Structure 1
Amino acid sequence: MAHDGAEDDKSGGAFTHPDPIVDEALEWLARRQNAPLELAEQRQFQEWLLRSPRHGEEFRYLEAMWRSPELGKAAEGLPAAARGSVNRRRLLSAARYVQSWSLRGVAAAAILMIAIGAWQYPALMLRWQADYITATGGRAQVSLPDGSTMLLNTASAVSIDFTNGRRQVTLLEGEAFFDVRHDPAHPFRVAAHYGETEVKGTAFAVRTESDQDTIVLERGRVEVSRLSDSGDHVELDPGEMVTATAKALSVVARRDPSEILAWRDGRIIFENQRLAHVLDELRRYYDGIVIVADARVGDLVVTGNYRLDDVPGAIRTLADAAGATMNRLPGGIILLR
């Protein structure tokens, strides 16, 4: 059973739009989508539509958005379990809020919201596998059975096996830093999606993503090999990093551990990086959605050192520096343009 490093996500609960007419329109649309209305309900719905012109306008707007081809295409690729977890009220409310967009733009925002539903299903599977897990924006320090310590970064999960002399950690998701107790007789191994790192006593970090694993060594020495080909391996010295993919290990590169591992102190540090890349990093720590409506904004080069406990504040400062406009919308949406 997973040990959670932060509060449970409450985003799946009831969502109320600040405009009561829009909120009522959301409710009627959801009821009509879920099942045919009974005769009494149909009369109530017609009475509600006739209360004012806005009632009908809001309902027709939401219905058109819900039936848009863009939204339908987004839903087609979702597994049934994920599709069923989509919160209609949150989805439609956020889309309705950006009413100044064209219908296509609103549908694009809704597509991003529906993607949240796709993420909820694998998250449940992850909890069943993990021994330790952190929420978005959270960190957790764990004392391992052998006396080593593990620091989990945001949205990370691991399973451990320390039985019968083994010292095995599997990084299921996210990123972790390990300070390993020296024990030459029992190697300490960390497996991720594509690579495995073996040490006897050292300090290093592993980050796993959909297409690669990244290993950074702070002190000591480690050997990194590919899971699919143990003969493909390299050794790292302090201040070096390597990435592992399904096909190969990268060339070993020099990186400053104090910069790449600044998350341990709750900070993010970057120098001369595209804003799009920085926003990708900040998204890992933000339990919401960041939308860049103008591609030119993402191409701007920025430098900075920011706290991770105030991601919206960091994004606002970056937006000001880049000459972009930031708007915060309901449902945790940040819009840059």
Structure 2
Amino acid sequence: MTDSSDHTVVPSEHVQRQATDWFAQREEMAQQPALRERFEHWRTANPEHAAAYQTLETLWQSQAFEQALRDLEMGLDLPDAATRATPQPRKAWFFATAAMLLLMLTSAWMADLPMRLRADQITAVAEIRQLTLADGSHIVLGSNSAISTDINLDHRRIRLLRGEFFVQAFADPSRPLVIDAAQARVTVVGTQFSVALEGEDVTVAVREGKVRFTDKTGEQSLLLAGNWQQLKDDHLQALNAEGAERQMAWVQGRLSFQDQPLAQVLNTLGRYYPQPILLFNDAAAKHRVSGNYQLDNPVAIVQALNTVTSTQLTRLPGGMLVIH
């Protein structure tokens, strides 16, 4: 198959990462024929490979992206040639950073098409949507979230594909509402609760009524009003008797967290901010923070966290945030 069909191919995340690794070696390939030959063998072995690499090249040649990388290099105040032993560390850092940014952009772009094909309802970053399902249940779909629904006279099912939602389930004992998220299942008759998906981890929080939370092995627990629980690493974690409202703070337009690592908080905040938030500080990433903020100004939240963690913030053209 030739490259002319690449535009019909959606590369997997694994292939995107391979393409990014090759892209980071582009200068070495120009000087090492053997490395270039290995790359060409990889590129032509599968249409996904060619499509993924072509997308990276297209982004790299964008003037806006090139300017953003220059601003990033200047914003982090890297040492110049006069104060460096060799130029290689700076070059390696630059291309590693470029590869990371390209991977983030291409992953988001490529992942969106199959998600839209699977989802019945999908929200953009910073968009929160209220829905009423065919059975009368009311849903608040969170930022950058997606669900598919299957409701008929025999059953009621919702699959959380991405993000989070809050549901006020219509009470119907003959048709329990079943929610699937990754390897977890939530079953209710009529209640108010939220379900959040992050990777393969699932968090359930209950405002009213009872919720049955089950993992793929069949292990289950019963959550009551005020309870919340996580499925993490394929296992149900200890049930938290209180604190459910903190997990659902986003429904009221707030970000609430207590004693969480900065990296985890920024990852959550990134779902409400349309541009990447990059953290280049390993020590600060582990710094545990607490807070309760309005979500309508994510940059202000990052600035507040910078003060708490003694980090520095660089805001690049286009809105990308870099913390170091």
Normalised by the size of structure 1, how large is the TM-score? 0.73
**Structure 1 ranges of 4+ moved more than 6 A:** 75-78
Q: What secondary structure is seen at the aligned counterpart in 2 of 1:276?
A: helix
Partner Cα separation in structure 2 for residue 214 and residue 79 of structure 1: 35
What is the letter of the counterpart of residue 244 of structure 2? P
Is 1:252 paired with 2:239?
A: yes
- Cα deviation per residue 1:31-88 (whole Å; 9 max; x = unaligned)? xxxxxxxxxxxxxxxxxxxxxxxxxxxxxxxxx9883569x9xx98985544443422
Q: Which structure 1 residue ranges, 5 or more long, are not aligned?
A: 1-63
Which residue in 2 is equivalent to 1:271?
258
In structure 2, the partner of 1:104 is 92
Give distance in 2, aligned partners of 1:83 and 1:213: 33
Q: Could you tell me whether the CA contact under 8 Å between 1:65 and 1:103 is conserved in 2?
A: no
Relative to structure 1, the CA distance from residue 68 to residue 150 in structure 2 (aligned partners, 3 Å threshold; closer, same or farther) is: farther
Identity of paired residues, percent?
28
- Say which is worse superposed, 237-246 or 278-287, in terms of deviation: 237-246
Distance 1:329 1:209, change over 3 A: same
CA offset digits 1:276-334 (Å, max 9, x no partner):
22212211211111122222222333332212121111101221233222110124321
Distance in 1 (CA, whole Å) between partners of 2:262 and 2:233 is 28
Structure 2 alignment gaps of length 5 or more: 1-22, 30-34, 79-89
1:233 aligns with 220
Displacement, 1:242? Answer: 2.4
Larger radius of gyration: 1
Alignment of 1:80-229 (within 5 A): 80-86=50-56, 87-88=59-60, 89=62, 90-100=64-74, 101=78, 102-115=90-103, 116-226=105-215, 228-229=216-217
3-state secondary structure, aligned to 1:318: helix
Alpha-carbon spacing, 1:194–1:80, altered in 2? closer, same or farther (3 Å): farther
1:259 deviates by: 1.3
Q: Which letter maps to 1:299?
A: K
The CA distance in 1 between the partners of 2:284 and 2:117, in whole Å, is 40
What displacement does 1:245 show? 5.0
State the SS of the aligned residue for 2:221.
strand
The change in CA–CA distance for 1:281 and 1:246 in structure 2 (over 3 A counts) is closer
Does structure 2 conserve the Cα–Cα contact (< 8 Å) formed by 1:65 and 1:106? Answer: no
- Which residue of the partner structure matches residue 300 of structure 2? 313
Q: Secondary structure at the match of 2:306?
A: helix
Check whether the contact 2:146–2:162 (CA below 8 A) recurs between aligned residues: yes
- Could you say which residue in structure 2 is the equivalent of 1:296? 283
- Compare 258-267 and 292-301 and name the one that shifted more: 292-301
